[in-house]
C-alpha cells in the first residue's frame, strides 16, 4: 500500500495533467455538436467491432456443437426423404421402412483400387453388414463388417461394388461401378443405346434392392460415347461425394430387408 501511495505522489503532476485533459475533452465533446457526433460514430464503430470479434470467437468455439446439430437435422431430413419416396407420409415412426443411423468416419482411403472406410459405430448402435451408407451429398458405400463399436465400409471407390441406379430424367435402370481411376468419377454401365442421354443427367439409386431407398443422389453424367456396334453407352459420371473429405455419414437400416431378401431368394430357387 505504501508503494502505491509513493507512486501516486511521485506522478501527481502528470496525473493531474491527464485528469484535466480528460475534463477538457469531455467538455469539448459534450458542448460541441460536430465533435460529439464524431465521437459517437467512432464509439459505435468500436463497440460494433468488439461485438463482431466476440461473436466470431464464440461461434468458433461452438462449431462442433453447430456441426452436430446440422448432422442431426440432415439425418431427420434424409429419413423423411427415404420414406417419402415410398409414398409414405406417416407420423408413426414405428411403421417407417428406413431408419438412418449417424456415424463419424475415423479412417478412410481413396487412392487405392479397393477403398474402405472405418466408422465409430458398430453392432451396439445397430449397424450390421450389408447396410447402405450415404452422406449429406449422396451414396458413400456399403457396410462390409462390424464389431461392437466399429464398422468398415466398402467405399463406392471399390472396383467390386455395384450400385443399382437409374437415370432420373428417363427412369432408365443402369449400374454405377468405379473403374479404379479418378476418385471423382465412376462408370455408368448398361444404358441401352436407344435411350437419349445427355451430359448433366442426374444418376440416383433405383430402389431395386433392399440396401438403398430410391432417388438417393449418386452423381451426374460427365461424358459418354456410343460406337456404331455398341449395345450400351460408354459413360462416366461425376460423383456427388468428395471421398477425400467425408466426415459424417448415415447408415441405412431397412426394416423390411430380411423379408424382401427371403422372398426374392425363394423366387430365384423355384
pLDDT in tens, 191-247: 999 999 999 999 999 988 889 999 999 999 999 999 989 999 999 999 999 999 888
C-alpha 186/C-alpha 143 separation (Å) is: 19
Q: Is the pLDDT at 63 greater than 50, yes or no?
A: yes
pLDDT band at 261 (very low <50, low <70, confident <90, very high): confident
pLDDT score recorded for residue 92: 41
Q: Is the pLDDT at 11 greater than 60, yes or no?
A: yes
Q: Is the pLDDT at 177 greater than 70, yes or no?
A: yes
Q: Is the pLDDT at 251 greater than 90, yes or no?
A: yes
C-alpha 139/C-alpha 153 separation (Å) is: 12
pLDDT score recorded for residue 33: 60
Cell triple for residue 97? 421402412
| pTM for this predicted structure | 0.68
C-alpha 182/C-alpha 110 separation (Å) is: 9
Angle at 185 between CA 182 and CA 186, to 5 degrees: 105
By the 10 Å C-beta count (0-12 exposed, 13-18 middle, 19+ buried), 24 is classed as exposed
pLDDT score recorded for residue 129: 95
pLDDT in tens, 115-148: 999 999 999 999 999 999 998 889 999 999 999 9
C-alpha 164/C-alpha 203 separation (Å) is: 10
Residue, of 45 and 165, whose pLDDT is higher: 165
pLDDT score recorded for residue 86: 42
Q: Quick one: average pLDDT of 149-174?
A: 96
Domains of the chain: 2-61 (no CATH), 93-269 (2.40.10.340)
Residue, of 93 and 187, whose pLDDT is higher: 187
pLDDT score recorded for residue 97: 85
- Asked if residues 237 and 184 have their Cβ atoms less than 8 Å apart, the reply is no
pLDDT score recorded for residue 19: 76
1-7's contacts with Cβ under 8 Å and 24+ in sequence apart are none
C-alpha 226 chain-centroid distance: 35
Amino acid at each position: 500500500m505504501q508503494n502505491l501511495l509513493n507512486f501516486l505522489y511521485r506522478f501527481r503532476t502528470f496525473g493531474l495533467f491527464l485528469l484535466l485533459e480528460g475534463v477538457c475533452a469531455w467538455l469539448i465533446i459534450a458542448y460541441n455538436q460536430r465533435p460529439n457526433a464524431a465521437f459517437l460514430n467512432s464509439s459505435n464503430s468500436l463497440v460494433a467491432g468488439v461485438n463482431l470479434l466476440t461473436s466470431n470467437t464464440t461461434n468458433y468455439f461452438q462449431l462442433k456443437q453447430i456441426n452436430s446439430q446440422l448432422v442431426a437435422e440432415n439425418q431427420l431430413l434424409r429419413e423423411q426423404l427415404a420414406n417419402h419416396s415410398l409414398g409414405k407420409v406417416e407420423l408413426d415412426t414405428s411403421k417407417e421402412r428406413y431408419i438412418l443411423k449417424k456415424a463419424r468416419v475415423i479412417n478412410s482411403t481413396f487412392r487405392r483400387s479397393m477403398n474402405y472406410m472405418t466408422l465409430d459405430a458398430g453392432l451396439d448402435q445397430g449397424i450390421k453388414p450389408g447396410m447402405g451408407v450415404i452422406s449429406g451429398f449422396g451414396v458413400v458405400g456399403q457396410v462390409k463388417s462390424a464389431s461392437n463399436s466399429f464398422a468398415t465400409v466398402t467405399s463406392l471407390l471399390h472396383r467390386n461394388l455395384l450400385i443399382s441406379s437409374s437415370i432420373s430424367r428417363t427412369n432408365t435402370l443402369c449400374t454405377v461401378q468405379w473403374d479404379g481411376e479418378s476418385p471423382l468419377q465412376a462408370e455408368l454401365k448398361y444404358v441401352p443405346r436407344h435411350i437419349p442421354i445427355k451430359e448433366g443427367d442426374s444418376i440416383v439409386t433405383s430402389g431395386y434392392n433392399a440396401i438403398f431407398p430410391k432417388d438417393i443422389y449418386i452423381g451426374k453424367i460427365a461424358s459418354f460415347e456410343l460406337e456404331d456396334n455398341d449395345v450400351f453407352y460408354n459413360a462416366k459420371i461425376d460423383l456427388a461425394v468428395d471421398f477425400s473429405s467425408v466426415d459424417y455419414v448415415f447408415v441405412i437400416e431397412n426394416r423390411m430387408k430380411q423379408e424382401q431378401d427371403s422372398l426374392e431368394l425363394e423366387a430365384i430357387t423355384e
